[in-house]
Homo-oligomer: A and B are copies of this chain.
Amino acid sequence: MKEQLSEQLIEVGDVFEHSFSFDQEQINLFAEVSGDNNPIHLDSNYAAQTVFKKPIIHGFLGGSVFSKVLGTLFPGEGTIYLKQDMRFTRPMYVGSTYQAVLEVVEVNREKSTALLKTRILDVETGKSTIEGEALVMNKKRL
């Protein structure tokens, strides 16, 4: 299922994929909103002297794609976010293309909840940058 909005019930095994990237302006805005102005995200001279070599995306900004997908696309409207675990496995860079992959691993129809495996992959290398799980409630689609 790719970028497809639906009102169907969500089932175990359903997978939703969503491609995205962030530019430096978005990083700067996130730094302003969150108060996380760590120079590793904002200052290319500072970043050049670190193991990352260039500015990296805040983990919380990268991971916010899960919030976007779960809250607006899959399951979408009406979703209540109950849990999100994230392991930041590799750095994410400004301008690179990433793919969020959300796979439904458990559904509880009585509680209208789903547990999803949530990953972000670097499209170029196929390697993960964030791995974890989400638990959501949605009374229409679960």
Which residues of A approach B to under 8 Å, CB–CB? 20, 26, 29-30, 32-40, 58-61, 63-68, 71-72, 77, 79, 81-88, 132
Please tell me if the beta carbons of A38 and B71 are within 8 angstroms of each other in the complex. yes
Tell me which residues across on chain B come within 8 A of A67, comparing CB atoms: 34, 36, 58-60
A30 and chain B: residue at smallest CB distance: B33
A28 and chain B: residue at smallest CB distance: B33
Please tell me if the beta carbons of B61 and A33 are within 8 angstroms of each other in the complex. yes
Given contacts A60-B67, A83-B87, 4 further A-B pairs with CB under 8 A are A29-B33, A58-B67, A60-B63, A83-B85
> In the complex this chain forms, how many copies of it are found?
2
Q: How far is the CB of A72 from chain B (nearest CB, A)?
A: 6
Partner of A72, one of B26, B38, B72, B82: B38
A25 and chain B: residue at smallest CB distance: B33
Complex CA gap A7/B20 in Å reads 37
Partner of A36, one of B29, B68, B83, B87: B68
Complex CA gap A66/B60 in Å reads 9
Complex CA gap A50/B40 in Å reads 39
Please tell me if the beta carbons of B81 and A35 are within 8 angstroms of each other in the complex. no
A26 and chain B: residue at smallest CB distance: B33
